[in-house]
Amino acid sequence: MSVDNKKPSKAIYRKQINDFPACQICAYPYDTYSRLPKLLDCGHTICLMCAESLIKGRSIQCPFDKTSTNLGYLSKLRVNYALLDIVEEGSLISMCEIHNQEVIAYCQNDSALLCVDCVFKHLSHDFYSLNDNRSRLKAEKSKKKLFEFHDKIINIRDKYQNSLNNLGPYLLHIEKVVDEHIQAFKAAETSLINEIKEGTEKCITAIKSLKEVQEIKKIGENLNTTVNRCNKELKKVNEDIQKFDSASTAEQISWELEENFFQEIPTVKNFNIIACSVKINYEEAIRRKEIDKSDFVWLKKAENLDSNNNLENLAFMVSSVSLIIPDLSKYPNNSHKQILGEHLYPLVLALAPSDTAAKITTMILDLPNNDILRMLKNHIDLKAEVEKFANALKSACP
């Protein structure tokens, strides 16, 4: 396609520089912005940019007749409106982009603006002069479309602006709700921490109280009293022994012993301390703020004291050195038996003779781990199992 067949541009173009009034200093044509025509007191006109470059102090010296123009501010320098009208009128002339000539017609077929040269290329088309009424109607139609487009944009913008305005309070509401929940979480955390602390303190107090079981203390006091009486009586007997050698034969023959002493103190035929493990669910105990009595066995008497207050066949359960049943899942499989053995042996030793405790422990460790864990939790089952293996060893070695 040749250049002449291109559609002329619809843009508004100024005429060539030579066709417009121009500043006589910089030779640039005047416009309504930086090259605004400014009138000096002497009557000469220069553009705004040149006026700025000629300022010295608070005045401008005309470059043509050397007359000074006093000014307070450059913006107060008068505009040459007569020249500006020519500039504005000339700037609204539509120029053909192809031939650089003034547009004079409009082609209906190609929707294109035509200059004189373009008209000859569009003689077979439906075109009309810009002064034709159809051109004015076309311009009015374009103007109407422009305003419709303008109104449509405003309508869309207003809808989005309303949504944006509504979104603001909603976002503030969300932020407020989130902050409230955060504060609630922190308050709940504080409450839980306080509950845990309170529960822990109560459980610790409860477990510490086991050290002060009055029944054990009473037994200890009775034993201690008996030991002190024995020591006191022993001291007296030692003194009698020293006196005996220096006594006369008659005194030695008639020497009497305090036989009633042995009747005044209880006799001990068998006294066993049997250790048992204690299993406590610490998290549950803290939640309950107490230790469940079923979690541990403390001071279980095999037989009560008889009417003669004799400590005969007395057995009681005390806390073992290991209070926690081991969680084997936390250890390698090849270490399970060793861990169970470390917990099991002290308990077996309390139930069986020392020379067979190790063998019985080994025999119990041959059982499944679940059975061993059950026995560590239940001293009755453990006692029964120890007795069974003890009898088996006794039968094997009469």
CATH number at residue 13: 3.30.40.10
- Residue 102 lies inside a defined structural domain of this protein: no
> Do residue 189 and residue 283 come from a single domain?
no
Q: Which of 291, 293, 295, 299 is nearest to 275 (CA)?
A: 299
Supply φ then ψ for residue 128, to 5 degrees.
-150, 160
> Do residue 193 and residue 74 come from a single domain?
no
Instruction: Count CB atoms within 10 A of the CB of residue 377.
Output: 14
> Do residue 217 and residue 201 come from a single domain?
no
> Do residue 278 and residue 367 come from a single domain?
yes
Distance of CA 140 to the CA centre of its chain: 64
- Residue 282 lies inside a defined structural domain of this protein: yes
> Do residue 228 and residue 289 come from a single domain?
no
**HSE-CB for 169 with a 13 A CA cutoff:** 4
> Do residue 148 and residue 168 come from a single domain?
yes
- Residue 289 lies inside a defined structural domain of this protein: yes
| Enclosing H/E stretch for 317 | strand 314-319
pLDDT tens, 264-306? Answer: 666 554 444 444 445 677 777 778 777 765 555 433 333 333 3
Q: Are 71 and 77 in contact (CB under 8 A)?
A: yes
Spatial neighbors of 382 by CB under 8 A, at least 6 apart, are 276, 347, 348, 351, 375, 376
- Give pLDDT, residue 64: 93
Q: Which of 367, 345, 365 is nearest to 357 (CA)?
A: 345
Distance of CA 77 to the CA centre of its chain: 66
> Do residue 198 and residue 219 come from a single domain?
no
> Do residue 279 and residue 395 come from a single domain?
yes
Please tell me the distance from the alpha carbon of residue 29 to that of residue 49, in angstroms, as a whole number. 12
Structural domain span for residue 218: 213-265
Point out the domain boundary residue: 265, 292, 307: 265
Q: Are 215 and 299 in contact (CB under 8 A)?
A: yes
Residue 65 has pLDDT above 90, yes or no: yes
pLDDT tens, 19-57? Answer: 568 899 988 888 877 788 999 989 999 998 898 888 887
> Do residue 294 and residue 373 come from a single domain?
yes
- Residue 64 lies inside a defined structural domain of this protein: yes
CATH number at residue 361: 1.10.1900.10
> Do residue 56 and residue 150 come from a single domain?
no
> Do residue 397 and residue 278 come from a single domain?
yes
> Do residue 8 and residue 75 come from a single domain?
yes
Number of domains in the chain: 4
Highest mean pLDDT among 66-80, 81-95, 108-122, 125-139: 108-122
Residue with tokens 């199992």: 385
DSSP 318: E
- Give pLDDT, residue 293: 53
Cut 0.85: pTM above it: no
- Residue 98 lies inside a defined structural domain of this protein: no
Please tell me the distance from the alpha carbon of residue 328 to that of residue 282, in angstroms, as a whole number. 18
